[in-house]
């Protein structure tokens, strides 16, 4: 049974396990990052992959986001449905069906902006082969050794840029990078230098420079402040933050400000088969487990393992039917486990629904 | 864009990544397990948690399944929508909203059978507190040391059984166990012995004895053949099988017969940023990664790591736009990543849709 608007999630109508979204934290995070990019002369293209939620996307767009970032054409289509007039696919896009959709959408709506990455001549040619009357705008992607995609050298990048500039159906719009895999502020600074250099080299009018921005937006804010490019931050996880992975890595551990964890899973103790051992009705189906296990809110509870539908914990004083709360680690693998989540106020009263469209 | 009936999934309409279900393998597996339980005098209550799909549930029920197993009341409600007249929740159920639903459903339909586990006096009392005009039928659960839920001793089990028999609103129906965590056939045999003993002790008319049955149905078939109980196997993963975890563990590695992998993920090579390194557009959002990574169908492709939306592979001879196929490991964390999957024939023509309801 779904949660009932105006009632507490503990009033008996809602089935557990359930993941709830705290409205105050969500609103705080949306406002905090909107202010951060504004104060640093940047713009936010929040990564919609994190939540894929029309309600959260609407909050981000209402707070002034440039548009939305997506990881796949499928997500771009959904983001378009969320009301985004500008969409950035943060990959080289090679999917014929996805590109056909994007070309149609560009033709149907002159105000629609669609951007994607390219890191190869082959990638530019695939775009060109699917272009309609409006060209596909691309950002040439500069990677780094040990990184994910992206040209490994500035020379390589310039070859792709030149090819894009000479290819009908494709228009060079700037440079893309991803600093999320780097380990130190010094590595990030060096990489941002090379991105800035790339922007100067490609010489397009009103260039865009996009970077990731979840773990290093402080360094990005300082280093890119004087760059003559429109800086698009693609942070996604900030919107709900977490009690694990991002709690440890947020730049707000180094600068003033904070993000607040907005996601919480509630589940029943199903069984206490041995003294000190409890089986909780929350599993891999309900909460993320890939970048840290859930974080029990109650002291003295230690997670031993998670199974498909159960979590085995060590704890004393629990009995069947007790409800336990857990913070989560890694929002990007939290939302995709749920089709709808109750949005709650401080008293756990349901004030809305957060739907997802994965 | 969804797949188009009658067309190949490679004909341009479908966006990738996509997970497809092979109809032949699915039908083969449904028929194989239906025959196995019939030949061994057992019955199948397939665990719907694996797929949560109305189409697959309908195939299992049409092949003679006793009913469906679920892990949560939420899943039980969905399974009811799939057409199951008998539902077994393979846990102690303590969720008030879920029990309220079950009590209503039992009252509304005299033909509906609802069974769940109990391993404690507290669990029996929670059931009783929510019972309507028809009692909740329970199976007392016998666990084992190092296992999940379930009474740890026969004495403990008998106390719960006696309490169930003396509690209005609850009716004792038999015994439940789960052998999936045991490591050797000898351990399984000993555990099955104790379950058989428990069935004799509880002395109910037409007792039910339910066990897991994915990894040890050969031993179960041999050991429980002469038991005077209705044996319900709760195997779930058999229905699609896999190319990893269950491929290594299926009892058909020891006895005649086979299951066939029915799930396959197809994804594009998005980028080849360095010679020998490729970024594939398939991530943790698309394929399971908890009990082994996806299994490349093409030789010479080695997965280095999976990220939210990408898989980094070592391979030569790949270029952006190439499509790669992967088998999967662990079907229970495969279906939950998709809301609809194309059902395909041997030529990858779309012959239907497998929906999921997680």
Asked if B134 contacts B145 with a C-beta cutoff of 8 angstroms, the reply is no
Interface test with A, best of B51, B285, B310 (most A CBs within 10 A): B285
Residues of A in contact with B309 (CB under 8 A): 49, 71-72, 91
Task: Determine, for residues A148 and B310 on separate chains, whether the beta-carbon distance falls below 8 Å.
Answer: yes
Give the per-residue pLDDT at B138. Answer: 98
pLDDT, one tens digit per residue, over B163-198 is 999 999 999 999 999 999 999 999 999 999 999 999
Which of B255, B258, B257, B249 has its CA nearest to residue B184?
Answer: B249
DSSP bridge partners of B324: B267
Q: Per-residue b/e over A82-118, b at no fewer than 16 CB within 10 Å? A: bebebbbbbbbbbbbbbbbbbbebbeeeeebbbbbbb
Task: Report the residue of chain A nearest B267, measured CA to CA.
Answer: A95
Task: Report the residue of chain A nearest B340, measured CA to CA.
Answer: A358
The rounded percent of chain A whose pLDDT value lies above 70 is: 99
Which of B305, B269, B292 has its CA nearest to residue A181?
Answer: B305
Task: Determine, for residues B336 and A285 on separate chains, whether the beta-carbon distance falls below 8 Å.
Answer: yes
From the list B151, B152, B319, the residue facing A122 with the nearest CB is: B319
Give the per-residue pLDDT at B301. Answer: 98
CA B71: distance to chain centroid?
A: 9
Radius of gyration for chain A, computed over Cα atoms and rounded to the nearest angstrom? 22
Give the per-residue pLDDT at A4. Answer: 84
In the predicted structure, residue A344 carries a pLDDT above the cut 90 = yes
Task: Report the residue of chain A nearest B282, measured CA to CA.
Answer: A72
Give the per-residue pLDDT at B331. Answer: 98
Chain A stretch 286-315, residues whose beta carbon is closer than 8 A to a beta carbon of chain B: 289-290, 307-310, 312
B205 touches chain A (CB under 8 A): no
What H or E segment, with its residue span, contains residue A314?
Answer: strand A311-314
Q: Which two tokens stand for residue A271?
A: 């069984």
Give the per-residue pLDDT at B4. Answer: 84
DSSP A269: E
From the list A74, A122, A147, the residue facing B15 with the nearest CB is: A74
Q: Which two tokens stand for residue A231?
A: 């800086």
Is cis: bond before A17, omega within 30 of 0? yes
Q: Which two tokens stand for residue B108?
A: 């509304």
Q: What is the pTM of this model?
A: 0.97
A159 touches chain B (CB under 8 A): no
Interface test with A, best of B7, B69, B94 (most A CBs within 10 A): B94
Give the per-residue pLDDT at A299. Answer: 96
Task: Determine, for residues A290 and B284 on separate chains, whether the beta-carbon distance falls below 8 Å.
Answer: yes
Which of B15, B351, B38 has its CA nearest to residue B217?
Answer: B38
Task: Determine, for residues A320 and B123 on separate chains, whether the beta-carbon distance falls below 8 Å.
Answer: yes
Q: For the residues A165-188, what does the mean pLDDT come to? A: 97
Task: Determine, for residues A148 and B307 on separate chains, whether the beta-carbon distance falls below 8 Å.
Answer: yes
Helix axes B154-165, B121-130, angle to 10 degrees: 20
Give the per-residue pLDDT at A225. Answer: 82
Task: Determine, for residues B12 and A96 on separate chains, whether the beta-carbon distance falls below 8 Å.
Answer: yes
Task: Report the residue of chain A nearest B318, measured CA to CA.
Answer: A122
Mean pLDDT score of chain A, rounded to an integer?
97
Task: Report the residue of chain B nearest A340, measured CA to CA.
Answer: B358
Give the per-residue pLDDT at A1. Answer: 56
Q: Which two tokens stand for residue B238?
A: 């058999």
pLDDT, one tens digit per residue, over A80-121 is 999 999 999 999 999 999 999 999 999 999 999 999 999 999
In chain B, the domains with their CATH numbers are 23-242 (3.20.20.10), 258-355 (2.40.37.20)
Which of B250, B253, B228 has its CA nearest to residue B241?
Answer: B250
A94 touches chain B (CB under 8 A): yes
A37 to A55, A91, A211: CA distances (angstroms): 21, 23, 13
pLDDT classification of A252: cutoffs 50, 70, 90: very high
DSSP B217: H
Give the per-residue pLDDT at A2. Answer: 65
Burial class (CB in 10 A: 0-12, 13-18, 19+), B319: middle
In the predicted structure, residue A280 carries a pLDDT above the cut 70 = yes
Which of B201, B230, B212, B315 has its CA nearest to residue B40?
Answer: B230
Pairing of the two strands B68-70 and B302-306: unpaired
Q: What is the mean pLDDT of each run of 10 residues along chain B (358 residues)?
A: 84 93 98 97 98 98 98 98 98 97 98 98 98 98 95 98 98 97 96 96 96 95 90 98 97 97 98 97 98 97 98 97 98 97 97 97
Which of B283, B266, B272 has its CA nearest to residue B316?
Answer: B272
DSSP B82: T
Chain A closest CA to B257's CA: distance in Å?
Answer: 27
Asked if B24 contacts B346 with a C-beta cutoff of 8 angstroms, the reply is yes
Task: Determine, for residues A95 and B15 on separate chains, whether the beta-carbon distance falls below 8 Å.
Answer: yes
Which of A315, A284, A271, A320 has its CA nearest to residue B147?
Answer: A271
Count of CB contacts below 8 A, A vs B? Answer: 169
What sign does the CA torsion over B295, B299, B305, B311 have?
Answer: negative
Task: Determine, for residues B273 and A151 on separate chains, whether the beta-carbon distance falls below 8 Å.
Answer: yes
Mean pLDDT score of chain B, rounded to an integer?
97
Residues of A in contact with B310 (CB under 8 A): 91, 148-149
Chain A closest CA to B72's CA: distance in Å?
Answer: 8
């Amino acid at each position: 049974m779904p949660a009932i608007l105006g009632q507490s999630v503990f009033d008996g109508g809602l089935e557990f396990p359930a993941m709830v979204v705290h409205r105050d934290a969500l609103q705080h995070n949306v406002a905090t990052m909107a202010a951060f990019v504004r104060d640093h002369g940047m713009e936010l293209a929040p990564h919609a992959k994190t939540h894929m939620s029309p309600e959260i996307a609407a909050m981000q767009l209402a707070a002034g986001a440039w548009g939305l970032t997506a990881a796949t054409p499928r997500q771009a289509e959904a983001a378009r449905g969320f009301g985004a007039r500008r969409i950035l696919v943060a990959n080289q896009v090679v999917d014929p069906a996805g590109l056909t959709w994007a070309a149609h959408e560009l033709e149907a709506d002159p105000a629609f902006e669609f951007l994607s990455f390219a890191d190869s001549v082959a990638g530019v040619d695939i775009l060109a082969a699917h272009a309609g009357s409006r060209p596909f705008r691309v950002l040439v992607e500069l990677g780094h050794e040990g990184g994910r995609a992206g040209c490994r050298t500035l020379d390589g990048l310039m070859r792709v840029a030149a090819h894009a500039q000479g290819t009908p159906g494709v228009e060079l719009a700037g440079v893309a990078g991803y600093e999320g895999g780097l380990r130190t502020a010094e590595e990030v600074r060096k990489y941002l230098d090379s991105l800035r250099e790339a922007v100067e080299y490609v010489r397009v009018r009103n260039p865009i420079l996009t970077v990731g921005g979840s773990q290093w937006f402080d360094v990005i804010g300082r280093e890119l402040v004087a760059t003559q490019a429109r800086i698009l931050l693609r942070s996604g996880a900030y919107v709900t933050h977490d009690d694990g992975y991002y709690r440890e890595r947020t730049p707000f551990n180094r600068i003033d400000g904070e993000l607040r964890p907005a996601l919480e899973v509630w589940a029943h103790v199903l069984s206490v088969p041995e003294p000190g051992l409890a089986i909780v009705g929350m599993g891999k189906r309900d909460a993320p487990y890939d970048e840290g296990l859930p974080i029990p809110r109650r002291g003295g509870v230690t997670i031993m393992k998670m199974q498909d539908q159960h979590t085995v914990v060590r704890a004393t004083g629990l009995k069947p039917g007790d409800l336990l709360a857990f913070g989560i680690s890694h929002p990007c693998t939290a939302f995709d486990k749920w089709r709808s989540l109750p949005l709650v106020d401080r008293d756990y009263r349901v004030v809305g629904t957060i739907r997802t469209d994965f």
